[in-house]
Structure 1
Amino acid sequence: MGLGGCIILIGAGAILAFATDWELDSVNVDMVGWIMMIVGVIGVFVYASVMRRRRVVAAPTTTVVSEDERHL
């Protein structure tokens, strides 16, 4: 799941938790919203951790030429 999916989960969960007043007998809609927001936040942290590891760049190696190796 990418960063966009995590943000969508957070937004949809917030809408379910705070902006709806639906009453269902078998499902607590507020709890589903909170769970979606928590999963979205965890996803953001995991995504940031993975991206931080991928961005580590090693310094480019350069070839050192000494005076003895030059052929004139």
Structure 2
Amino acid sequence: MSIGAGIALFAIGAILAFAVNVDVPGVSLDMIGYILMGAGFLVFVIGLVLMMRRRQTESVTHVAVDPAGGERVTRNSTSTSGDQGV
């Protein structure tokens, strides 16, 4: 979601900075375009970092002995981005 928002901000900023030739008193559309382009780039990079961080997985193996039957019990659990599954 944030990667798409970053691209959209960058595109809107580029349109304002390079394609719009309207003079608005007291407002610099070029500067607003450059600010939006910078914000879009920043949101895009943050989105990439968060996406890479979410893809990390952690695998844990628990080994115990069942007291009733004396059998060895192995439990595997894998967590991805905070969620746990067995």
Q: Above 0.5 in TM-score?
A: yes
Higher strand residue share: 2
1:9 and 2:9 aligned:
yes
Structure 1, unpaired ranges of 5+: 64-68
Percent of aligned pairs with the same amino acid: 38
Post-superposition offset of 1:52: 1.0
| Distance in 2 separating the partners of 1:34 and 1:14 | 7
Q: Match for 2:21: what amino acid?
A: D
User: What is the aligned residue count?
Assistant: 65
Higher helix residue share: 1
| Distance in 2 separating the partners of 1:2 and 1:45 | 9
Please report the RMSD computed on the Cα atoms of aligned residues, expressed in angstroms.
2.0
Asked if the contact 2:5/2:44 (under 8 Å) is kept, the reply is: no
| Distance in 2 separating the partners of 1:60 and 1:11 | 44
Structure 2, unpaired ranges of 5+: 64-70, 73-86
CA deviation profile, 1:5-59 (whole Å, cap 9, x unmatched): 1111000100000001111111100000000000000001111111111110124
- 51-60 vs 13-22, which moves further: 51-60
SS of the residue 1:58 aligns to: strand
Q: Match for 2:45: what amino acid?
A: F
TM-score by length of 2: 0.66
